[in-house]
Amino acid sequence: MPELPEVETVCRGLSGMMEGQRITHVTLRRPDLRIPFPQGFAAQVAGKKVMAIQRRAKYILITLEDGIVILLHLGMSGRIFLRDAGTKPQKHDHVIFDVGQGKEIVFNDPRRFGLVDLTRQDAWQTHPLLKNLGLEPLENSFNGAALYALTRKRKTPIKLLLMNASLIVGVGNIYASESLFRAGISPLRHAGKLTQKEADGLVVSIKQVLQDAIKAGGSSLKDFVAADGETGYFQHHFSVYGKEGQPCERCKHPIKQIKQSGRSTFYCPSCQK
DNA sequence: CCTTGAACCTGCGGGC
DNA sequence: TGCCCGCAGGTTCAAG
């Protein structure tokens, strides 16, 4: 489920319900996800107050009162949601945070590509999984000049460059296709062949596509609190993703599906050049 | 350095 | 109905 907009939505939901609250108890229902849970995880977290919740790339960082930071990643299939404390655990409920007021926050992840780790407030940026991350697409440092510079001398298809997290974070398989459609650029174009003007337009498209999706998720934030844990992701409108064979909304030409580095790409061969 | 492909794991839908 | 295959929103690692 999670691309950047979903992670952002989850972060906002968590902020609203956890900041200032105390994590009274933690239950780990298996020893690991993508990596082992840290030694003494429950002991380092239980009883502490949540000071802040923020996002870096698709990682969620939960800062506790003593400077310990919980690092969460949802992988491909992870979900976080709130429910009544003591609810019978469901399949793939791996971590349960008791947050008082009769509520618990659940991390459920069928495929277990997600992860949970610990770091410190003054050291998270040098955490092995975070230290090589690229630009945040919604920040001002990600602009036309920056993208243009990143693309120089690179032969890789622009879609793959957008998804390279050591250059730009948070643009996953769905929004890479959607952004390129909005910008009118073929996913197959060699990155190094983009003009400055195209880079400018692509940056605008990426920001718009992500912001629109966040807005859609934000409007269903109430659902985050609901028991089903859905965030409105599937209700969001896509122009090309998953639309193979359907008429392009701009020119009616059929949307095409191809594979790039093993991942599906969708685009309109007529209006994306 | 850059690029590609496999790997991690479960669930679902399609075809036979 | 059941089995096998391919596919799925992410990321890391090894190999070329």
pLDDT in tens, A155-167: 999 999 999 999 9
Pick from A21, A30, A73, A26: nearest CA to A49:
A21
Rounded CA-CA distance A109/A4 in Å is 17
Per-residue pLDDT at A238: 93
Say if residues A211 and A203 touch (Cβ distance below 8 Å).
Answer: no
Q: Determine the pLDDT at residue A122.
A: 96
Active site residue A254: no
What SS3 class is residue A102? coil
* CA atom of A191 to C1′ atom of C10, Å: 22
Distance (Å) of CA A191 to CA A179, A186, A200, A206, A261: 14, 10, 13, 15, 15
Average confidence (pLDDT) over A173-184:
96
Of A26-30, A87-91, A140-144, A222-226, give the lowest mean pLDDT range.
A222-226
Query: What pLDDT score was predicted for residue A154?
Result: 92
A231 has pLDDT over 90: no
- The 3-class SS string of A38-100 reads CCCHHHHHCCEEEEEEEEECCEEEEEECCCEEEEEECCCCCEEEEEECCCCCCCCEEEEEECC
Mean pLDDT, all residues of chain A: 92
Q: Calculate helix-pair angle for A173-183, A196-218, nearest 10 degrees.
A: 130
**Which of A231, A202, A238 is CA-nearest to residue A214?**
A231
Strand C nucleotides within 7 Å of a protein CB: 7-12
pTM for this predicted structure:
0.94
What share of chain A in percent tops pLDDT 70? 93
Residues by Cβ under 7 A, strand B: A 34, 77, 91-92, 110-113, 154-157, 160, 261-262
Active site residue A58: yes
A115, pLDDT greater than 80: yes
Tokens of A236: 């969001």
Is A36 tagged catalytic?
no
For the segment A25-54, the average pLDDT, to the nearest whole number, is 97
Q: How far is CA A176 from CA A28, A46, A153, A161, A188, in A?
A: 35, 39, 20, 9, 12
Q: A8: Cβ–Cβ under 8 A, 6 or more apart, which residues?
A: A55, A214, A217
Whole-Å CA distances, A190 to A116, A159, A160: 36, 9, 10
Per-residue confidence (pLDDT) for residue A153, from 0 to 100? 87
Lowest mean pLDDT among A152-156, A165-169, A195-199, A230-234: A230-234
Two structure tokens written together for A80: 């976080």
Query: Is A101 within 8 Å of A225 (Cβ atoms)?
Result: no
Q: Is the distance from CB of A92 to CB of A99 less than 8 angstroms?
A: no
* First-last CA distance in chain A: 29
